Amino acid sequence: MKRMIIAALLGCSVAGYAIAQNIQVIRASSAPKNAVNASSMAKSSTSLDELVVSKGDFNDSKVYEHFGAGQYAALYDYNINTKTKGGDPVTETYVTALRIGENGALFTDYLTFKADSISSSDMSDEQRAEILNSINNVDFFFVPTVVQNIPEGNITTTDQAAITIASFTEPFGEIEWQLTEESDTFAGYNVMAAIGSYGGREWKAWFTEEIPVAFGPWKLTGLPGLILKAQDSDGLHEFKLISFTKSDVPLALKKNASTVKTERAKFIEMKNRTAQNPMASINPASISEVSVLKNKSGGAELIVNGVPLRVPVNIYVPLELE
């Protein structure tokens, strides 16, 4: 079966889909229980108050790039099965968020989503302070951000390799999914399974036509319904829906003047080559400034040329092999 874009299977354009008003919504608490203790392959002590800005700055087009209004938010656990540097098996788990708008979606770390929900609100300074004080720092943070189908037909990823922040664009829905005969229920939805390859890994994705959008976690897109769960064939990476709620948090990303545009293959090669020991990959001649900051959890954070150096806690297991 050829690639299955929602336009072909649902009889509508990707940009012109309409989310049904009677979609079942999984209600969740304001923050998943493990959202503030989430771990990833890249350690960086991050606090919510570092990400929150004033509403004026959030709405300023010079500070943020806006892609549209939000309608729903899907939160996912992302699990990585890896090993400690001592060789012991360990599962890293952290929380991510998919904001779904009228024509596209935005995938980020949960903390970024939470910060933007505060920054875009009309709450008072006292209310903001109360929320900030109620949520602990996270020592681990999902770095890549993925803009899905904005502009139409594109996926744009912004990610970090060593101290380089780069973005690259690729076609939306390029995974050639093969539908299987398998069906099940998950998180209260009827789901079907599909198999597809991307980035050197084979993925099995479970999607539901009860939420008729072609989006999903990370860059897993192009099926005729929201992807609720996905796992690679090696059992190393898994995305799993933990809540789906209505949300008006805008689809927006803070601009970074240091971001360079590159090609996907070039970036993936650089990231996989430098991720385990990013400091060793930095040309000393390129270093103009180094700072060591004490974070709120009492640890130290190395900032090189204004960019936090993200060092894997455990053995690095890339999402993309090629």
Q: What is the pLDDT of residues 287-315, one digit of tens each?
A: 888 888 765 555 567 788 878 777 888 99
Give the model's pLDDT for residue 123. 78
Instruction: Give the separation between CA 281 and CA 290, rounded to whole angstroms.
Output: 15
Whether cis (ω within 30° of 0) applies to the bond prior to 144 is no
Mean local confidence (pLDDT), 201-218: 98
Give the model's pLDDT for residue 89. 97
The dihedral formed by the CA atoms of 255, 261, 264 and 270, expressed in degrees to the nearest 10:
-90
More confident residue, 129 or 321: 321
Q: What is the pLDDT of residues 102-136, one digit of tens each?
A: 999 999 999 889 889 888 888 777 777 766 665 55
Q: What is the pLDDT of residues 2-44, one digit of tens each?
A: 333 333 333 333 333 344 444 555 544 334 443 333 333 344 4
Residue 29 backbone phi and psi in degrees, to 5: -70, 170
Q: What is the mean pLDDT of the chain?
A: 83
More confident residue, 50 or 311: 311
Instruction: Give the separation between CA 249 and CA 99, rounded to whole angstroms.
Output: 8
Got the DSSP string for 59-98?
A: H-TTTEEEEE-EEEEEEEEEEEEEE-TTS-EEEEEEEEEE
More confident residue, 111 or 189: 189
Task: For residue 73, give the nearest of 194, 211, 176 by alpha carbon.
Answer: 211
Q: What is the pLDDT of residues 218-276, one digit of tens each?
A: 999 999 999 999 999 999 999 999 999 999 999 999 998 889 999 999 999 999 999 88
pLDDT surpasses 90 at 157: yes
Give the model's pLDDT for residue 290. 83
